[in-house]
Chains A and B, each alone.
Chain A
Amino acid sequence: MENNEKVLISTRNLVKIFDVVKVLDNIDIDILDGEKVVIIGPSGSGKSTFLRCLNLLEIPTSGLVEFKGEPLFKCYSNFVKEEIKQAKKQARKLSKSSSEKSEYQKQIAEMKKQYKEQLAEEKVFRKKMELNLNTHRQKMGMVFQQFNLFPHRTVLQNITLAPIKLKLATEEEANNKARELLKRVGLLDKQDSYPGQLSGGQKQRIAIVRALAMNPSVMLFDEPTSALDPEMVGEVLDLIKDVAEGGMTMVIVTHEMGFAKEVGTRILFMDEGKIAAQGTPDEIFNNPTHPRLVEFLSKVL
Protein backbone atom coordinates (compact mmCIF):
# COMPACT_ATOMS: atom_id res chain seq x y z
CA MET A 1 0.00 0.00 0.00
CA GLU A 2 2.81 2.38 0.86
CA ASN A 3 4.31 2.11 -2.60
CA ASN A 4 1.73 4.23 -4.35
CA GLU A 5 1.53 6.85 -1.61
CA LYS A 6 4.19 9.51 -1.89
CA VAL A 7 5.64 10.93 1.31
CA LEU A 8 5.89 14.70 1.01
CA ILE A 9 7.17 15.75 4.42
CA SER A 10 8.64 13.58 7.10
CA THR A 11 10.29 14.19 10.44
CA ARG A 12 12.32 11.84 12.62
CA ASN A 13 13.24 12.42 16.26
CA LEU A 14 12.30 16.06 15.86
CA VAL A 15 13.21 17.92 19.03
CA LYS A 16 12.96 21.61 19.81
CA ILE A 17 14.22 22.96 23.09
CA PHE A 18 13.56 26.57 24.13
CA ASP A 19 15.96 27.40 26.95
CA VAL A 20 15.45 24.20 28.92
CA VAL A 21 11.88 23.37 27.94
CA LYS A 22 11.40 20.53 25.47
CA VAL A 23 8.65 22.05 23.33
CA LEU A 24 8.83 19.27 20.72
CA ASP A 25 9.66 15.84 22.04
CA ASN A 26 10.85 13.35 19.42
CA ILE A 27 8.19 13.79 16.78
CA ASP A 28 8.11 11.24 13.95
CA ILE A 29 5.62 11.79 11.20
CA ASP A 30 5.12 11.15 7.49
CA ILE A 31 2.78 13.48 5.65
CA LEU A 32 1.60 11.99 2.39
CA ASP A 33 0.86 13.74 -0.85
CA GLY A 34 -2.74 14.97 -0.84
CA GLU A 35 -3.32 14.53 2.89
CA LYS A 36 -5.09 17.21 4.92
CA VAL A 37 -3.47 16.93 8.32
CA VAL A 38 -5.20 18.93 11.02
CA ILE A 39 -3.35 19.58 14.28
CA ILE A 40 -5.33 20.23 17.44
CA GLY A 41 -4.32 20.46 21.07
CA PRO A 42 -4.18 22.71 24.10
CA SER A 43 -2.43 26.08 24.05
CA GLY A 44 1.32 25.78 24.47
CA SER A 45 1.45 22.15 23.37
CA GLY A 46 3.85 23.00 20.52
CA LYS A 47 1.52 23.10 17.50
CA SER A 48 2.90 26.31 16.04
CA THR A 49 6.46 25.34 16.82
CA PHE A 50 5.97 22.03 15.01
CA LEU A 51 4.46 23.71 11.96
CA ARG A 52 7.25 26.28 11.85
CA CYS A 53 9.89 23.58 12.10
CA LEU A 54 8.56 22.03 8.89
CA ASN A 55 9.70 24.98 6.78
CA LEU A 56 12.49 25.86 9.21
CA LEU A 57 11.16 29.24 10.24
CA GLU A 58 12.05 27.74 13.59
CA ILE A 59 15.34 25.86 13.64
CA PRO A 60 14.90 22.53 15.43
CA THR A 61 17.36 21.49 18.11
CA SER A 62 17.91 18.04 16.68
CA GLY A 63 16.40 15.44 14.42
CA LEU A 64 15.57 15.19 10.74
CA VAL A 65 13.15 17.09 8.52
CA GLU A 66 12.71 15.85 4.96
CA PHE A 67 10.76 17.42 2.11
CA LYS A 68 10.20 15.38 -1.05
CA GLY A 69 12.82 12.92 0.13
CA GLU A 70 15.48 15.58 0.53
CA PRO A 71 16.72 16.49 3.99
CA LEU A 72 16.07 20.13 4.90
CA PHE A 73 17.43 19.75 8.36
CA LYS A 74 19.64 17.07 9.78
CA CYS A 75 21.28 17.42 13.14
CA TYR A 76 22.14 14.66 15.54
CA SER A 77 25.21 16.24 17.12
CA ASN A 78 23.11 17.96 19.77
CA PHE A 79 21.59 14.59 20.55
CA VAL A 80 25.01 12.96 20.93
CA LYS A 81 26.16 15.93 23.02
CA GLU A 82 23.29 15.32 25.39
CA GLU A 83 24.20 11.63 25.62
CA ILE A 84 27.81 12.47 26.42
CA LYS A 85 26.62 14.74 29.20
CA GLN A 86 24.50 11.94 30.63
CA ALA A 87 27.34 9.40 30.41
CA LYS A 88 29.73 11.78 32.13
CA LYS A 89 27.26 12.27 34.93
CA GLN A 90 27.00 8.50 35.37
CA ALA A 91 30.77 8.07 35.29
CA ARG A 92 31.30 10.67 37.98
CA LYS A 93 29.20 8.64 40.37
CA LEU A 94 31.51 5.63 40.11
CA SER A 95 34.70 5.09 42.12
CA LYS A 96 37.97 5.73 40.35
CA SER A 97 39.31 2.19 40.23
CA SER A 98 36.20 0.35 39.15
CA SER A 99 36.34 -1.38 35.82
CA GLU A 100 32.94 0.01 35.04
CA LYS A 101 34.39 3.50 35.13
CA SER A 102 37.08 2.77 32.57
CA GLU A 103 34.40 1.15 30.47
CA TYR A 104 32.40 4.37 30.65
CA GLN A 105 35.41 6.45 29.78
CA LYS A 106 36.05 4.33 26.73
CA GLN A 107 32.44 4.84 25.74
CA ILE A 108 32.62 8.60 26.25
CA ALA A 109 35.75 8.84 24.13
CA GLU A 110 33.99 6.87 21.42
CA MET A 111 30.96 9.18 21.59
CA LYS A 112 33.16 12.25 21.47
CA LYS A 113 34.75 10.96 18.30
CA GLN A 114 31.31 10.35 16.87
CA TYR A 115 30.26 13.84 17.94
CA LYS A 116 33.17 15.43 16.11
CA GLU A 117 32.42 13.48 12.95
CA GLN A 118 28.75 14.43 13.16
CA LEU A 119 29.63 18.06 13.64
CA ALA A 120 31.90 18.14 10.60
CA GLU A 121 29.31 16.38 8.47
CA GLU A 122 26.54 18.71 9.60
CA LYS A 123 28.64 21.76 8.86
CA VAL A 124 29.02 20.68 5.24
CA PHE A 125 25.31 19.89 5.11
CA ARG A 126 24.28 23.27 6.48
CA LYS A 127 26.39 25.15 3.93
CA LYS A 128 24.70 23.28 1.11
CA MET A 129 21.24 23.57 2.66
CA GLU A 130 21.43 27.32 3.16
CA LEU A 131 20.96 27.71 -0.60
CA ASN A 132 18.48 24.90 -1.16
CA LEU A 133 16.28 25.97 1.72
CA ASN A 134 14.99 29.04 -0.10
CA THR A 135 14.08 26.90 -3.10
CA HIS A 136 12.23 24.39 -0.93
CA ARG A 137 10.39 27.12 0.95
CA GLN A 138 8.94 28.34 -2.34
CA LYS A 139 7.11 25.04 -2.49
CA MET A 140 5.81 25.23 1.09
CA GLY A 141 3.21 27.96 1.30
CA MET A 142 2.58 29.37 4.75
CA VAL A 143 -0.43 31.26 6.07
CA PHE A 144 -0.09 33.08 9.38
CA GLN A 145 -2.55 33.96 12.09
CA GLN A 146 -1.71 37.66 11.70
CA PHE A 147 -1.84 37.54 7.84
CA ASN A 148 1.56 39.28 7.52
CA LEU A 149 0.72 41.00 4.27
CA PHE A 150 3.24 43.61 3.13
CA PRO A 151 1.58 46.90 4.11
CA HIS A 152 3.70 49.04 1.78
CA ARG A 153 2.66 47.10 -1.32
CA THR A 154 -0.68 46.87 -3.12
CA VAL A 155 -2.65 43.65 -3.08
CA LEU A 156 -1.41 42.76 -6.56
CA GLN A 157 2.19 43.53 -5.62
CA ASN A 158 1.85 41.44 -2.46
CA ILE A 159 1.03 38.45 -4.63
CA THR A 160 3.56 39.05 -7.39
CA LEU A 161 6.54 40.26 -5.35
CA ALA A 162 8.09 36.87 -4.64
CA PRO A 163 7.49 35.27 -8.08
CA ILE A 164 9.01 38.32 -9.78
CA LYS A 165 11.96 38.78 -7.39
CA LEU A 166 12.75 35.09 -7.60
CA LYS A 167 12.52 35.23 -11.39
CA LEU A 168 9.91 32.47 -11.50
CA ALA A 169 7.75 34.57 -13.82
CA THR A 170 7.90 37.77 -15.82
CA GLU A 171 6.00 40.70 -14.42
CA GLU A 172 3.23 40.18 -16.97
CA GLU A 173 2.88 36.45 -16.26
CA ALA A 174 2.85 37.09 -12.52
CA ASN A 175 0.23 39.82 -12.86
CA ASN A 176 -2.01 37.65 -15.00
CA LYS A 177 -1.76 34.72 -12.63
CA ALA A 178 -2.42 36.99 -9.63
CA ARG A 179 -5.50 38.51 -11.28
CA GLU A 180 -6.80 35.07 -12.15
CA LEU A 181 -6.46 33.95 -8.52
CA LEU A 182 -7.99 37.20 -7.24
CA LYS A 183 -10.93 36.65 -9.53
CA ARG A 184 -11.37 33.15 -8.13
CA VAL A 185 -11.63 34.49 -4.58
CA GLY A 186 -13.78 37.44 -5.66
CA LEU A 187 -11.28 40.14 -4.76
CA LEU A 188 -10.21 41.33 -8.19
CA ASP A 189 -11.58 44.80 -7.50
CA LYS A 190 -9.12 45.11 -4.59
CA GLN A 191 -6.00 44.55 -6.67
CA ASP A 192 -4.79 48.13 -6.33
CA SER A 193 -5.80 48.57 -2.68
CA TYR A 194 -3.31 48.50 0.14
CA PRO A 195 -3.68 45.90 2.92
CA GLY A 196 -4.56 48.66 5.39
CA GLN A 197 -7.76 49.27 3.44
CA LEU A 198 -9.02 45.67 3.71
CA SER A 199 -11.05 43.76 6.29
CA GLY A 200 -9.45 40.92 8.22
CA GLY A 201 -11.19 38.27 6.16
CA GLN A 202 -10.10 39.92 2.93
CA LYS A 203 -6.54 40.17 4.20
CA GLN A 204 -6.39 36.50 5.04
CA ARG A 205 -7.84 35.51 1.68
CA ILE A 206 -5.16 37.64 -0.03
CA ALA A 207 -2.52 35.97 2.14
CA ILE A 208 -3.75 32.57 0.97
CA VAL A 209 -3.69 33.74 -2.64
CA ARG A 210 -0.15 35.05 -2.13
CA ALA A 211 0.95 31.61 -0.99
CA LEU A 212 -0.94 29.88 -3.82
CA ALA A 213 0.71 32.08 -6.43
CA MET A 214 3.98 30.24 -5.76
CA ASN A 215 2.40 26.94 -6.89
CA PRO A 216 3.29 25.23 -3.61
CA SER A 217 3.25 21.46 -3.08
CA VAL A 218 1.97 21.89 0.45
CA MET A 219 0.27 24.63 2.41
CA LEU A 220 0.89 25.23 6.11
CA PHE A 221 -1.79 27.11 8.05
CA ASP A 222 -1.20 28.37 11.59
CA GLU A 223 -4.58 29.24 13.11
CA PRO A 224 -5.70 31.12 9.99
CA THR A 225 -8.98 32.31 11.51
CA SER A 226 -7.99 33.02 15.12
CA ALA A 227 -7.39 36.73 14.54
CA LEU A 228 -10.66 37.25 12.67
CA ASP A 229 -14.00 38.68 13.74
CA PRO A 230 -16.52 35.83 13.92
CA GLU A 231 -18.48 36.98 10.89
CA MET A 232 -15.35 36.69 8.71
CA VAL A 233 -14.29 33.20 9.74
CA GLY A 234 -16.65 31.57 7.27
CA GLU A 235 -15.29 33.19 4.11
CA VAL A 236 -11.72 32.17 4.98
CA LEU A 237 -12.64 28.59 5.91
CA ASP A 238 -14.63 28.30 2.68
CA LEU A 239 -11.57 29.32 0.68
CA ILE A 240 -9.36 26.82 2.52
CA LYS A 241 -11.92 24.08 1.86
CA ASP A 242 -11.96 25.08 -1.77
CA VAL A 243 -8.18 24.78 -1.99
CA ALA A 244 -8.34 21.45 -0.15
CA GLU A 245 -10.82 20.09 -2.65
CA GLY A 246 -8.40 21.04 -5.41
CA GLY A 247 -6.11 18.32 -4.04
CA MET A 248 -3.59 20.47 -2.18
CA THR A 249 -1.62 18.80 0.62
CA MET A 250 -2.25 20.73 3.82
CA VAL A 251 -1.13 20.93 7.40
CA ILE A 252 -3.54 23.04 9.42
CA VAL A 253 -3.34 24.13 13.03
CA THR A 254 -6.79 25.21 14.14
CA HIS A 255 -9.20 25.57 17.03
CA GLU A 256 -12.22 25.23 14.71
CA MET A 257 -13.25 21.66 15.49
CA GLY A 258 -16.14 21.56 13.05
CA PHE A 259 -13.80 22.60 10.26
CA ALA A 260 -11.19 20.05 11.38
CA LYS A 261 -13.75 17.28 11.21
CA GLU A 262 -14.96 18.34 7.80
CA VAL A 263 -11.66 18.96 6.00
CA GLY A 264 -9.14 16.78 7.81
CA THR A 265 -8.18 13.37 6.47
CA ARG A 266 -6.03 12.84 9.55
CA ILE A 267 -6.20 14.56 12.91
CA LEU A 268 -3.15 14.91 15.17
CA PHE A 269 -3.69 15.65 18.83
CA MET A 270 -0.61 17.31 20.31
CA ASP A 271 0.02 17.42 24.00
CA GLU A 272 3.19 18.53 25.79
CA GLY A 273 5.32 18.38 22.66
CA LYS A 274 4.23 14.92 21.60
CA ILE A 275 1.69 13.57 19.16
CA ALA A 276 -0.46 12.04 21.86
CA ALA A 277 -3.09 10.62 19.52
CA GLN A 278 -3.81 10.53 15.81
CA GLY A 279 -6.42 9.10 13.52
CA THR A 280 -9.32 9.80 11.20
CA PRO A 281 -11.77 12.53 12.24
CA ASP A 282 -14.19 9.79 13.23
CA GLU A 283 -11.66 8.08 15.49
CA ILE A 284 -10.55 11.31 17.12
CA PHE A 285 -13.85 13.13 17.55
CA ASN A 286 -16.41 10.35 17.88
CA ASN A 287 -14.39 7.64 19.59
CA PRO A 288 -11.57 9.27 21.50
CA THR A 289 -9.68 6.95 23.86
CA HIS A 290 -6.69 8.95 25.01
CA PRO A 291 -7.65 10.52 28.36
CA ARG A 292 -6.02 13.88 27.64
CA LEU A 293 -7.80 14.02 24.29
CA VAL A 294 -11.14 13.25 25.95
CA GLU A 295 -10.48 16.02 28.44
CA PHE A 296 -9.45 18.46 25.70
CA LEU A 297 -12.51 17.70 23.58
CA SER A 298 -14.87 18.09 26.50
CA LYS A 299 -13.50 21.61 26.93
CA VAL A 300 -13.68 22.76 23.32
CA LEU A 301 -16.77 21.01 22.01
Chain B
Amino acid sequence: MKLDLTIIFNEKTMLLLVKAYGWTLAITVMALVIGIIIGTILAIFMVLPKTNIVNKVLNSFANIYLAVVRGTPLLVQLMIISFVIFADVIFFNRTVSPYLIATIGFGINSGAYVAEIMRGGILSVDKGQMEAGRSLGLGYGQTMKSIILPQSAKNILPSLGNEAIALIKETSVALVIGVSEFFTTIKSIVNTSYNVVTPYLFAAIIYLVTVMAMTALLKKFEKRLRKSDGK
Protein backbone atom coordinates (compact mmCIF):
# COMPACT_ATOMS: atom_id res chain seq x y z
CA MET B 1 0.00 0.00 0.00
CA LYS B 2 1.39 3.36 -0.87
CA LEU B 3 1.08 6.96 0.17
CA ASP B 4 -1.70 8.79 -1.64
CA LEU B 5 -2.04 12.38 -0.50
CA THR B 6 -4.99 13.11 -2.72
CA ILE B 7 -7.35 11.14 -0.54
CA ILE B 8 -6.67 13.63 2.27
CA PHE B 9 -5.89 16.83 0.49
CA ASN B 10 -9.05 17.35 -1.44
CA GLU B 11 -11.55 20.03 -0.67
CA LYS B 12 -14.38 17.81 0.57
CA THR B 13 -12.24 15.69 2.89
CA MET B 14 -10.32 18.63 4.25
CA LEU B 15 -13.50 20.43 5.15
CA LEU B 16 -14.70 17.32 7.00
CA LEU B 17 -11.39 16.90 8.79
CA VAL B 18 -11.11 20.51 9.87
CA LYS B 19 -14.59 20.37 11.32
CA ALA B 20 -13.86 17.07 13.07
CA TYR B 21 -10.58 18.42 14.42
CA GLY B 22 -12.45 21.44 15.73
CA TRP B 23 -14.82 19.13 17.59
CA THR B 24 -11.95 17.18 19.08
CA LEU B 25 -10.36 20.37 20.39
CA ALA B 26 -13.66 21.78 21.60
CA ILE B 27 -14.66 18.61 23.45
CA THR B 28 -11.19 18.32 25.00
CA VAL B 29 -11.04 21.91 26.21
CA MET B 30 -14.59 21.96 27.54
CA ALA B 31 -14.21 18.57 29.21
CA LEU B 32 -10.98 19.70 30.81
CA VAL B 33 -12.65 22.83 32.16
CA ILE B 34 -15.47 20.73 33.62
CA GLY B 35 -12.89 18.24 34.90
CA ILE B 36 -10.88 20.95 36.66
CA ILE B 37 -13.98 22.40 38.31
CA ILE B 38 -15.23 19.00 39.48
CA GLY B 39 -11.71 17.88 40.39
CA THR B 40 -10.99 20.95 42.52
CA ILE B 41 -14.24 20.59 44.44
CA LEU B 42 -13.65 16.86 45.02
CA ALA B 43 -10.04 17.47 46.08
CA ILE B 44 -11.17 20.01 48.68
CA PHE B 45 -13.77 17.51 49.92
CA MET B 46 -10.95 15.01 50.33
CA VAL B 47 -8.58 17.26 52.29
CA LEU B 48 -11.20 18.83 54.59
CA PRO B 49 -10.34 18.15 58.23
CA LYS B 50 -12.63 15.31 59.30
CA THR B 51 -13.83 17.10 62.41
CA ASN B 52 -17.56 17.15 61.78
CA ILE B 53 -20.21 15.01 60.17
CA VAL B 54 -20.69 17.27 57.13
CA ASN B 55 -17.01 17.06 56.21
CA LYS B 56 -17.05 13.30 56.68
CA VAL B 57 -20.03 12.94 54.34
CA LEU B 58 -18.37 15.13 51.68
CA ASN B 59 -15.20 13.10 52.06
CA SER B 60 -17.03 9.82 51.54
CA PHE B 61 -18.88 11.26 48.56
CA ALA B 62 -15.58 12.17 46.90
CA ASN B 63 -14.13 8.75 47.59
CA ILE B 64 -17.14 6.98 46.11
CA TYR B 65 -17.07 9.24 43.05
CA LEU B 66 -13.43 8.39 42.45
CA ALA B 67 -13.94 4.69 42.99
CA VAL B 68 -16.86 4.50 40.56
CA VAL B 69 -15.44 6.73 37.83
CA ARG B 70 -11.93 5.31 37.90
CA GLY B 71 -13.12 1.75 38.39
CA THR B 72 -15.36 1.51 35.34
CA PRO B 73 -14.43 1.83 31.64
CA LEU B 74 -14.92 5.24 30.06
CA LEU B 75 -16.82 3.59 27.22
CA VAL B 76 -19.38 2.20 29.63
CA GLN B 77 -19.72 5.55 31.35
CA LEU B 78 -20.43 7.33 28.07
CA MET B 79 -23.02 4.72 27.12
CA ILE B 80 -24.77 5.02 30.47
CA ILE B 81 -24.80 8.81 30.32
CA SER B 82 -26.06 8.80 26.75
CA PHE B 83 -28.48 5.87 26.63
CA VAL B 84 -29.74 5.85 30.22
CA ILE B 85 -29.47 9.31 31.74
CA PHE B 86 -29.96 11.52 28.68
CA ALA B 87 -32.03 9.00 26.67
CA ASP B 88 -35.39 10.62 27.32
CA VAL B 89 -34.28 14.14 28.04
CA ILE B 90 -35.90 16.59 25.65
CA PHE B 91 -34.46 20.07 25.49
CA PHE B 92 -36.21 22.68 23.33
CA ASN B 93 -38.08 19.92 21.52
CA ARG B 94 -34.88 18.08 20.66
CA THR B 95 -32.86 15.33 22.20
CA VAL B 96 -29.56 16.43 23.69
CA SER B 97 -26.70 16.57 21.18
CA PRO B 98 -24.22 13.70 21.47
CA TYR B 99 -21.45 16.29 21.36
CA LEU B 100 -22.75 17.90 24.52
CA ILE B 101 -23.22 14.51 26.15
CA ALA B 102 -19.68 13.53 25.21
CA THR B 103 -18.32 16.75 26.69
CA ILE B 104 -20.19 16.19 29.95
CA GLY B 105 -19.16 12.54 30.03
CA PHE B 106 -15.48 13.27 29.47
CA GLY B 107 -15.70 16.09 32.01
CA ILE B 108 -17.17 13.83 34.68
CA ASN B 109 -14.55 11.19 33.94
CA SER B 110 -11.70 13.65 33.88
CA GLY B 111 -12.93 15.16 37.17
CA ALA B 112 -11.97 12.01 39.05
CA TYR B 113 -8.43 12.01 37.70
CA VAL B 114 -7.98 15.75 38.15
CA ALA B 115 -9.22 15.36 41.75
CA GLU B 116 -6.28 13.14 42.62
CA ILE B 117 -3.87 15.50 40.86
CA MET B 118 -5.34 18.46 42.78
CA ARG B 119 -5.28 16.62 46.08
CA GLY B 120 -1.60 15.86 45.58
CA GLY B 121 -1.05 19.53 44.72
CA ILE B 122 -2.83 20.75 47.84
CA LEU B 123 -0.92 18.33 50.06
CA SER B 124 2.35 19.47 48.49
CA VAL B 125 1.85 22.94 49.97
CA ASP B 126 3.48 23.29 53.38
CA LYS B 127 0.92 23.08 56.17
CA GLY B 128 2.37 26.24 57.69
CA GLN B 129 0.70 28.13 54.83
CA MET B 130 -2.78 27.18 56.00
CA GLU B 131 -1.80 28.05 59.57
CA ALA B 132 -0.42 31.43 58.53
CA GLY B 133 -3.63 32.23 56.65
CA ARG B 134 -5.86 31.12 59.51
CA SER B 135 -3.79 32.99 62.10
CA LEU B 136 -4.40 36.19 60.14
CA GLY B 137 -8.13 35.62 60.51
CA LEU B 138 -8.85 34.31 57.01
CA GLY B 139 -11.42 31.51 56.84
CA TYR B 140 -10.69 28.00 55.63
CA GLY B 141 -12.21 28.59 52.20
CA GLN B 142 -10.58 31.97 51.80
CA THR B 143 -7.15 30.58 52.72
CA MET B 144 -7.67 27.68 50.33
CA LYS B 145 -8.63 30.01 47.49
CA SER B 146 -6.02 32.74 47.80
CA ILE B 147 -3.09 30.94 49.42
CA ILE B 148 -3.15 27.16 48.98
CA LEU B 149 -4.65 26.64 45.51
CA PRO B 150 -2.48 29.24 43.72
CA GLN B 151 0.62 27.58 45.14
CA SER B 152 -0.50 24.09 44.23
CA ALA B 153 -1.28 25.29 40.68
CA LYS B 154 2.31 25.30 39.54
CA ASN B 155 2.97 21.90 41.11
CA ILE B 156 0.09 20.25 39.30
CA LEU B 157 0.53 21.85 35.90
CA PRO B 158 2.68 19.04 34.44
CA SER B 159 0.19 16.36 35.55
CA LEU B 160 -2.70 18.43 34.30
CA GLY B 161 -0.92 18.64 30.94
CA ASN B 162 -0.75 14.85 30.89
CA GLU B 163 -4.46 14.67 31.52
CA ALA B 164 -5.15 17.07 28.64
CA ILE B 165 -2.96 15.07 26.27
CA ALA B 166 -4.63 11.81 27.24
CA LEU B 167 -8.03 13.41 26.81
CA ILE B 168 -7.39 14.70 23.31
CA LYS B 169 -6.60 11.18 22.14
CA GLU B 170 -9.36 9.57 24.16
CA THR B 171 -12.14 11.59 22.57
CA SER B 172 -12.34 9.02 19.76
CA VAL B 173 -14.16 6.75 22.21
CA ALA B 174 -17.17 9.03 21.78
CA LEU B 175 -17.91 7.31 18.47
CA VAL B 176 -20.08 4.85 20.39
CA ILE B 177 -22.59 7.58 21.11
CA GLY B 178 -22.48 9.01 17.63
CA VAL B 179 -19.89 11.73 17.88
CA SER B 180 -17.68 12.11 14.83
CA GLU B 181 -14.49 13.76 15.94
CA PHE B 182 -11.08 13.78 14.31
CA PHE B 183 -10.05 10.15 14.69
CA THR B 184 -13.44 8.69 13.79
CA THR B 185 -13.38 10.79 10.62
CA ILE B 186 -9.93 9.44 9.79
CA LYS B 187 -11.26 5.92 10.24
CA SER B 188 -14.13 6.55 7.89
CA ILE B 189 -11.68 7.83 5.27
CA VAL B 190 -9.75 4.57 5.65
CA ASN B 191 -12.94 2.63 5.14
CA THR B 192 -13.98 4.44 1.97
CA SER B 193 -10.54 4.83 0.35
CA TYR B 194 -9.18 1.37 1.19
CA ASN B 195 -5.89 3.14 1.94
CA VAL B 196 -4.65 2.55 5.49
CA VAL B 197 -1.26 4.22 5.49
CA THR B 198 -2.08 7.75 4.41
CA PRO B 199 -4.95 8.65 6.75
CA TYR B 200 -3.32 7.11 9.83
CA LEU B 201 0.03 8.68 9.10
CA PHE B 202 -1.72 12.01 8.63
CA ALA B 203 -3.58 11.51 11.93
CA ALA B 204 -0.35 10.71 13.75
CA ILE B 205 1.29 13.87 12.46
CA ILE B 206 -1.69 16.02 13.43
CA TYR B 207 -1.80 14.54 16.95
CA LEU B 208 1.93 15.02 17.34
CA VAL B 209 1.78 18.65 16.26
CA THR B 210 -1.20 19.29 18.56
CA VAL B 211 0.48 17.73 21.57
CA MET B 212 3.69 19.63 20.85
CA ALA B 213 1.78 22.88 20.67
CA MET B 214 0.04 22.08 23.96
CA THR B 215 3.35 21.24 25.60
CA ALA B 216 4.88 24.52 24.48
CA LEU B 217 1.88 26.45 25.75
CA LEU B 218 2.09 24.67 29.08
CA LYS B 219 5.81 25.41 29.44
CA LYS B 220 5.20 29.06 28.86
CA PHE B 221 2.43 29.11 31.42
CA GLU B 222 4.54 27.24 33.97
CA LYS B 223 7.39 29.65 33.53
CA ARG B 224 5.11 32.55 34.29
CA LEU B 225 3.89 30.85 37.47
CA ARG B 226 7.43 30.03 38.56
CA LYS B 227 8.58 33.59 38.25
CA SER B 228 7.63 34.22 41.88
CA ASP B 229 10.00 31.53 43.16
CA GLY B 230 12.92 33.84 42.68
CA LYS B 231 14.78 31.02 41.03
Contacts and interface: CB of A to CB of B under 8 A. Distances in A.
A150 B132 contact: yes
23 contacts: A57-B134, A134-B137, A134-B138, A139-B137, A144-B132, A148-B129, A150-B132, A151-B151, A151-B228, A152-B228, A153-B228, A161-B146, A161-B147, A162-B136, A162-B137, A165-B138, A165-B142, A194-B230, A196-B228, A196-B229, A196-B230, A196-B231, A211-B135
A146 B128 contact: yes
Contact of A152 (B128, B136, B151): B151
Interface in A209-251: 210-211, 214
Q: How large is the interface on A (under 10, 10 to 19, 20 to 34, 35 or more residues)?
A: 20 to 34
B71 to A, nearest CB: 34
Interface in A147-182: 148-154, 161-162, 165-166
Given A57-B135, A196-B231, 16 more contacts: A57-B134, A134-B137, A137-B137, A146-B126, A146-B128, A148-B128, A148-B132, A150-B147, A152-B228, A161-B136, A162-B133, A162-B136, A166-B138, A194-B228, A210-B136, A214-B136
A134 B151 CA distance: 22
Interface of B: 51, 126, 128-129, 131-139, 142, 146-147, 150-151, 228-231
A270 interface: no
Q: Which 5 A-B pairs have the closest CB atoms?
A: A196-B230, A138-B137, A148-B132, A162-B136, A142-B135
A151 B125 CA distance: 10
A197 B142 CA distance: 26
A282 to B, nearest CB: 33
A280 interface: no
A137 B136 contact: yes
Contacts of A138: 136-137
A197 B134 CA distance: 24
A142 B230 CA distance: 25
Given A165-B146, A196-B228, A148 B131 contact: yes
Contacts of B51: 59
A139 B146 CA distance: 20
Contacts of B150: 152
Nearest to A158: B132
